[in-house]
A = this chain, B = another copy of it.
Amino acid sequence: MSPAEARGNIENFTGVAQIPLGIAGPLYIDGEHARGEFLIPLATTEGSLVASYSRGMKVVNLAGGVRTTVSGDSMQRAPVFIFDSAREAREFVAWIGTRLEEIRAVSEATSHVARLAHIEPFLSNKFAFLRFNFTTGDAAGQNMVGKATYAAYQWILANNRTIRRAYLESNFATDKKPSHVNILHPRGKRVTAEATIPHDVLHHQLRVEPDQLAYHWGVANVGALLSGANNNGLHSANAITALFIATGQDVANVAEGAAATTFVEVTHDGALYFSITIPSLIVATHGGGTHLATQQECLRMLGCTGHGSVDRLAEIVAGTVLAGELSLAAAISSLEWVSAHEQLGRNR
Contact = CB atoms under 8 A, between A and B. Distances in A.
Interface of A: 1, 6, 8-24, 32, 41-51, 54, 67, 69, 71-72, 78, 80, 82, 85-87, 89-90, 93, 122-127, 129, 150, 153, 157, 161, 163-172, 174-184, 190, 192, 194, 215-238, 240-242, 245-246, 248, 250-255, 258-259, 261-265, 267-269, 275-277, 279, 288-289, 292-295, 298, 332-333, 335-339, 341-342, 345-348
A48 B262 CA distance: 36
Contacts of A163: 337, 339
Contact of A164 (B67, B125, B342): B342
A82 B275 CA distance: 13
Contacts of A227: 171-172, 174, 179-182, 184
A105 to B, nearest CB: 21
Contact of A167 (B14, B170, B184, B336): B336
Copy total for this chain: 4
Contacts of A269: 345, 347
Given A125-B261, A192-B124, A221-B221, A178 B229 contact: yes
B180 A180 contact: yes
Nearest to A7: B47
Given A184-B181, A252-B237, A294-B15, A10 B165 contact: no
